Amino acid sequence: MQFDIAVIISICSIVVMFYCLWLVLSLKSRIPGGIVGRTWRLLIILVSFFTLGYLCTPFFGMLPAEFMKLIVALIFFFGAIYVVVTVKLIYRVIEELA
Amino acid sequence: MHRMTVFVKTAKGEEEIRTRQNKLPPAIRVPLILVDGRSTVEELVSKGGEQTKLTEALAYLEQHGFIEPFGTAGTRPASISPPGGGSPKLQLVQLMQALVGQGADKVVAKLNEAPNSRDGLEAAVVACHKLMRLTIDEKKAEEFLARAREILRTAG
């Protein structure tokens, strides 16, 4: 594995994603249920998927092109779902607090 | 510690609920919140979980002046009201603790911080209702709102 700028950025992304995973897991106990608590469970699953996907990125050069394309497509797909879930959650919170 | 002892929060205990200045760990803070001047140790155990941990926490709180014995269920004079005298705020806190149990820390703090005026309590109830809907349980939130409004209405 060559240590170029892309690999360094990938490693940084993995570190950030692990921090995000720790964050969602540690905050779970403070949000046992309700509107946010329900969505939080989904966010934990999505962040776990991302962490796994991000872990593959430094090894992209070693993977077959088709498999690499599939992983990127999956990351984009779940990324889109993550954004939708987060935007909807923010909107629900604003609605509740309005 | 006698299981029929009733504890009451001291001024230091009330202050701690409002300010968290002593940074008590949850295992100590929750029993402090549960102490209401009415419940016996036995009743607190039924609300707050494991007996050994709870009695240890109560012993710590008493030793450090956050709570003091108010009497025992059998000996407490009926004419003496607990601090707050069953005030609407106290009733709301008890309702919240009964509905939510150990996770009530944050919402109980909101109630405790509220002014004692009717408007102040009404605003705190609405804020607690929102917080419960968002982070605890939507059904319990609705039940709390209905029963809290009943308490405020009967209190006039």
pLDDT recorded at residue A4: 83
- Identify whether the C-beta of residue B114 lies closer than 8 Å to the C-beta of residue B123: yes
If you average pLDDT over residues A21-50, what whole number do you get? 92
Contacts of A91 (CB under 8 A, 6+ apart): none
Q: Is B130 on the interface with A (CB under 8 A)?
A: yes
Residues of chain B neighbouring A96 (CB-CB closer than 8 A): 130, 133-134
Q: Is A31 on the interface with B (CB under 8 A)?
A: yes
Residues of chain B neighbouring A35 (CB-CB closer than 8 A): 133-134, 138
Between B39 and A15, residue with greater pLDDT: A15
B45 and B94 share one domain: no
Give the Å distances, CA to CA, from B150 to A3, B122, B154: 67, 11, 6
Question: What's the ipTM?
Answer: 0.73
- Identify the sign of the CA torsion B131, B136, B138, B144: negative
Number of domains in chain B: 2
> What share of chain A has pLDDT > 90, as a percent?
59
Q: What is the pLDDT of residues A66-96, one digit of tens each?
A: 988 898 899 899 999 999 999 999 999 998 8
- Which residue range forms the structural domain that includes residue B139? 79-155
> How do the domains of chain A map onto residue ranges?
5-97
Residues A96, B134: C-beta atoms closer than 8 Å = yes
Question: Which band of pLDDT confidence, cut at 50, 70 and 90, is reported for residue A97?
Answer: confident
Q: Is B102 on the interface with A (CB under 8 A)?
A: no
d(CA B114, CA B56) in angstroms, rounded, equals: 30
Residues A96, B141: C-beta atoms closer than 8 Å = no
Nearest Cα neighbor of B38 from B3, B1, B97, B82 is B82
pLDDT recorded at residue B46: 76
- Return the number of other C-beta atoms located less than 10 Å from residue A19's C-beta: 9
Q: Please tell me whether residue A63 adopts helix, strand or coil conformation.
A: coil
pLDDT recorded at residue B48: 62
Q: Is A51 exposed, middle or buried (0-12, 13-18, 19+ CB in 10 A)?
A: middle
Residues of chain B neighbouring A37 (CB-CB closer than 8 A): 135-136
> What share of chain A has pLDDT > 70, as a percent?
98
Q: What is the pLDDT of residues B25-50, one digit of tens each?
A: 888 888 888 887 777 787 788 776 67
| Structural domain ending residue among the three candidates B57, B75, B93 | B75
d(CA A65, CA A70) in angstroms, rounded, equals: 9
B57 and B31 share one domain: yes
B25 and B66 share one domain: yes
